[in-house]
Amino acid sequence: MAKISMIVNGNPVTANVDPRMLLVQFLRENLRLTGTHVGCDTSQCGACVVHLDGRAVKSCTTLAVMADGHEVKTIEGLAADGAPLHPMQEAFREHHGLQCGFCTPGMIMTAVDIVHRKGNDLTDEVIREELEGNLCRCTGYQNIVASIAAGAKAMAKSDLA
Amino acid sequence: MYEFKYHRPGTVRQAANLLAKNEDAKVIAGGHTLVPVMKQRLASPPHLVDLSHIEGLNEIEMKGRALVIGATATHFEVANSPTVGEAIPALAELAGMIGDPAVRHRGTIGGSLANNDPTADYPAAVMALGATIVTNKRRLKPEEYFQGLFSTALEPDEIITKVLFPLPKKAAYVKFRNQASRYALVGVFVAKRPSDVRVAVTGAGSNGVFRLESFEEALKKRFSHKVLDGLTVAAEGLNSDIHGSAEYRAHLIAVLARRAVEAATAKE
Ligand SMILES: Cc1cc2nc3c(=O)[nH]c(=O)nc-3n(C[C@H](O)[C@H](O)[C@H](O)COP(=O)(O)OP(=O)(O)OC[C@H]3O[C@@H](n4cnc5c(N)ncnc54)[C@H](O)[C@@H]3O)c2cc1C
Ligand code: FES
Ligand code: FES
């Protein structure tokens, strides 16, 4: 077993884990943060995307021990419970950026990362290119792209990062 | 995934000692090749030695006439490094074409070169630029380092510490992506170096990355895409699979080489 400590959604957590535990398992099974999903076993779908030290990563391809000492943000950490949604979440709701919703947490965490790296004015082309690592089996992407463009603009006027 | 012991050394020397002491131990850098294959139980190292806590191992700097990239520099760091962008823009572009943004945030140059996937991007750059692979034991030229599919000159307790890239006069990388995996179906890196011209091909060779000497000869006389007119590539020795036949790959190599030379000459 290995002792790990990290900040998850602003809260310090400490645990003893088997070194082979994936970060996504740790988040879902130990911390009960089940918003982060697993959609594949080939590291390609992006349903598991969380932020590690502020950068989008695939938590299904990261060992929990490798996040030791670092900061993790999941979909649950974007906006406080009961508070208004994060502007990117709100944009997905507003623009029908989801159908079954399985890919959505990963899409939104990726989208927020895109805004952090590329700014608030995103062309469709940039969004599509940046969504390379996120698959959706429902929407056909059109509304996801529209949601991200709108969410990016809304983030400029919001206090939520 | 099978059980393993996890080690977190603070120096390359400690890491090498752990590898020497524990049979079948493996290092882990970004984990973006190793974790997927361990999940599928295609690899089951009893010991994992994590390189991510070794300070300075991801440093990127200019040393004399060479660009030095530390082994644990991520694809994201290489793609966005102003030092790389100024010294060898084609290399920054290549790093920015690997996988997707999340993969680039974790995957490293050392891991990519140690893995030597025949469809990976970095091997083409290392081969064409004539880079030197520096390990905890020695320095290796690409010709000695790359030894075929997923195979390199690295010994079990050998760790890549950095890669030295001599600066080319002109260079460009053009990649034709596999539509599903986004790895290179074919990728061609062209470099006009002070002394010669090199054309390296990834994704196509049934033995991994290779140089295209006939194209190099032509380009050495004049570095222009026009000298490639009429030159073709033989399908013999190229990969044939569900993604493309050997003939198709041969055709792609010639087309991409031409585009790479055009891109390299357009840059100035
Ligand atoms: C969805 C997806 C898409 C991808 N697309 C591409 C692509 O388009 N092009 C491409 O080139 N690659 C692609 N990759 C691979 C990616 O670039 C990997 O990150 C890379 O091949 C391995 O780097 P790593 O740091 O993750 O290595 P790890 O997975 O940590 O290690 C890989 C191997 O290298 C060894 N190793 C690692 N570092 C060292 C070192 N310093 N010295 C000695 N041995 C070492 C390990 O022991 C292991 O055997 C993709 C990966 C994924 C998951
Ligand atoms: S579950 Fe992580 S990429 Fe699919
Ligand atoms: S909304 Fe169903 S997978 Fe994207």
Give residue A102 CA to ligand 3 midpoint distance, Å: 5
ipTM of the shown complex: 0.97
Terminal CA-to-CA distance of chain B, rounded, Å?
50
Among the three residues A77, A99, A117, which one is the final residue of a domain in this structure?
A77
DSSP run (H or E) holding B19: helix B12-21
Q: What are the tens digits of pLDDT across the range B199-221?
A: 999 999 999 999 999 999 999 99
> Would the CB atoms of A41 and B105 count as touching at under 8 Å?
no
**Structural domain boundaries, residue A91:** 87-156
For residue B268, pLDDT over 70 is answered with no
The tally of CA atoms less than 13 A away on the side-chain side of residue A14 is 1
Give residue B140 CA to ligand 1 midpoint distance, Å: 19
Task: Determine which of A66, A71, A73 to mutate to test the interface with B (most B C-beta atoms within 10 Å).
Answer: A66
Both A35 and A14 in one domain: the answer is yes
Number of domains comprising chain A: 2
Residue of A nearest to B32 (CA): A61
For residue B179, pLDDT over 90 is answered with no
Task: Assign domain B170-266 to its CATH superfamily.
Answer: CO dehydrogenase flavoprotein, C-terminal domain (3.30.390.50)
Q: What are the tens digits of pLDDT across the range B3-31?
A: 999 999 999 999 999 999 999 999 999 99
Among the three residues A22, A57, A77, which one is the final residue of a domain in this structure?
A77
Q: What is the pTM of this model?
A: 0.97
Give residue A28 CA to ligand 3 midpoint distance, Å: 19
Residue of B nearest to A67 (CA): B52
CATH number at residue A111: 1.10.150.120
For residue A149, pLDDT over 90 is answered with yes
Residue A82 falls inside a structural domain: no
Which pLDDT value is given to residue B267?
65
Of residues B230, B237, B236, B238, the one with CA closest to residue B257: B230
Fold of B5-166: 3.30.465
Q: Where are the alpha helices (DSSP H) in chain A?
A: 23-25, 87-94, 104-118, 124-130, 142-156
Both A125 and A60 in one domain: the answer is no
- B182 touching chain A per CB within 8 A: yes
Could you give the maximum distance between any two Cα atoms of chain A, in Å?
46
Residue A62 falls inside a structural domain: yes
Q: Do residues B139 and B132 touch, judged by C-beta distance below 8 A?
A: yes
Sign of dihedral through CA atoms B232, B234, B235, B239?
Answer: negative
Residue A23 falls inside a structural domain: yes
Terminal CA-to-CA distance of chain A, rounded, Å?
35
